[in-house]
Structure 1
Amino acid sequence: MAHKVIIVSAFNGWQSGHQLLPISVQTDPTDPHTKTQYLMDTSDNQLYESTLQTNKFQSFLVNNAVVSDGNYYVFTPMDVLFVVLPSLM
């Protein structure tokens, strides 16, 4: 199983018991392959935007295992209004 490194930046600190629900939104109606990945925290209804940081020459140590893929995902909080606005225009 391939491991992925994910960094979540939470406003109020991260607490155990939070559940993240993945959401994909099609950003360009003319191209079905353009999607943006979001995470919704069901505990406090916070939306997080996904950004993939690519690094060729980097690896991570996670629980005594080496993750040789240097890419990692950063999830930052964002307002839901930014997802809804383009569809209203």
Structure 2
Amino acid sequence: MKTAIDERILSLPRYLKKKGEIKRFQEFYDEIGISKQRFNRIKKQDISDINAHFIVEQIHKIGIVYGIDFNWIFGVTDTPRQNTKSAQI
């Protein structure tokens, strides 16, 4: 079952592409150290009855590399970036 953390992270490649920070989703996968297959397993786990989640190292890389607020990842704040007026994802 996907967690709220998984859902937020799964939305990031599209958000980053829309902002022009990545050109292809594969850039995101490579940067955080996850294969496309593993990402898709996390995405489709509700229908495929598997249990897969992002690991701490991947979450850490997302925050450091892309400047994503860890509070947003964990559901404490509503915007993915601190001190910005960016729209919610």
TM bin, normalised by shorter chain, reads under 0.3
- State TM-score, norm by structure 1: 0.25
Determine which structure has the larger strand proportion and give its number. Answer: 1
Give the structure with higher Rg (CA): 1
Determine which structure has the larger helix proportion and give its number. Answer: 2
- State TM-score, norm by structure 2: 0.25
